[in-house]
Amino acid sequence: MGKIRVLIVDDSAIIRRAVSDELALDPEIEIAGTAPNGQIALAKMTQVNPDFVLLDVEMPVLDGLKTLAELKKTHRRIPVMMFSSLTERGADATLDALMLGAAGYFTKPNSGGIEESRRIIREQLLPQIKAICAANLVKSTPARPAVIPVSLPPRPAPSGVVDVVAIGVSTGGPNALMELFRNLPANLPVPILIVQHMPPVFTKQLAHRLSANSKIVVEEATSGTFLEQGRAWIAPGDNHMTVVRQGLRQMLVLDKEPQENSCRPAVDPLFRSVAKVFGGQTLAIVMTGMGSDGLRGCEAIKAAGGRVLVQDEATSVVWGMPGIVSRAGLADKVLPLALIGPEIVRRVLRTKD
């Protein structure tokens, strides 16, 4: 693959310059162009021929949502990442954009000065651009990496009983979760725990969206909440979420322990805790996302006798998290997104009748 040509669309000249300057330092990136609003960006598409579009959510003349809708009519295969502010309005509009087909989102640095902003662009935005573009390339290539199993200690024989479903997901997650939850019945007799890599505000808005569009009540988690069957909790941005046993019940705990896998919330702390509390009655799901978060947690779940399902490469925006679990030989099944919900229901209900 040649250089990734990026079109940057933002009404702030300062932001356009900061993002352009930092991305251009990478030898794999070429700045195809910039635009101060969606109308100009659309006019430039055929001129600059970008491989990737970074699109501000709130702009004059033509905002990000309307621009995205037009882009998907004429340049459907070009990935678009939304660039939004860390506000409730920005989060809501970003989730709308993801539903319209945006490949991901990135929150604008809002403190720390220009040098800190450039560091965040370099260390957080740049890897996402590369991962999304690489995923698009891999999906058009038939070759697949070989399975490389890891050495694990002897595992307890799985009981088949499922008492908790734990989900880890990142890039592409909101859309994937929306489809997954549409396939879950209201009377699913287990709690569902979700870690989606998202900042504060965004996780609350996502919980509201999931709850409004599914039969299961989904809430942003709070410390001290006891788990209940048929309900779901999502870890709040900037907080790890774990489970502890409290007498005969299980309780959620939030903390601000150091990041794991450069994330907080991270999947591994949740998965380790459910392995400890629920043991072999755990069903873990690893879905679309970049990086390796969830790998160590899946090792703990498998060692405790639990089961792991992962999303397949074809339906993942980025096959990083599920791919590394699959290649490690930890997945009991690799499934397309549309079949994960029905598989969860089948595994939960077969021992609950």
Q: In what order do the strands lie in the sheet with 333-335?
A: 217-220, 231-234, 192-196, 164-169, 282-286, 307-311, 333-335
Return the SS3 of 328.
coil
The tokens for 131 are: 């991962």
Tokens 């598409």 identify what position? Answer: 45
CB 239 within 8 A of CB 265: yes
Which residues have a Cβ under 8 Å from the Cβ of 271 and sit 6 or more positions away? 166, 168, 284, 294, 296, 297, 298, 300, 301
| Number of Cβ within a 10 Å radius of residue 74 | 10
Catalytic positions, please? 170, 197, 293
CB 65 within 8 A of CB 99: no
| Number of Cβ within a 10 Å radius of residue 202 | 25
Pairing of strands 52-56, 29-35: unpaired
Alpha helices in the chain (DSSP H): 13-24, 38-48, 64-74, 88-100, 113-120, 126-139, 173-182, 202-212, 267-278, 295-303, 321-327, 337-349
Asked if the peptide bond before residue 265 counts as cis, ω within 30 degrees of 0, the response is yes
Q: At what angle do helices 88-100 and 202-212 cross, to 10 degrees?
A: 50
| Number of Cβ within a 10 Å radius of residue 25 | 11
For the chain, what is the largest distance between any 2 Cα atoms, rounded to a whole number of angstroms? 65
The β-bridge partners of 253 are 242
Return the SS3 of 297.
helix
DSSP 8-class letter at 121:
I
The tokens for 342 are: 């029905």
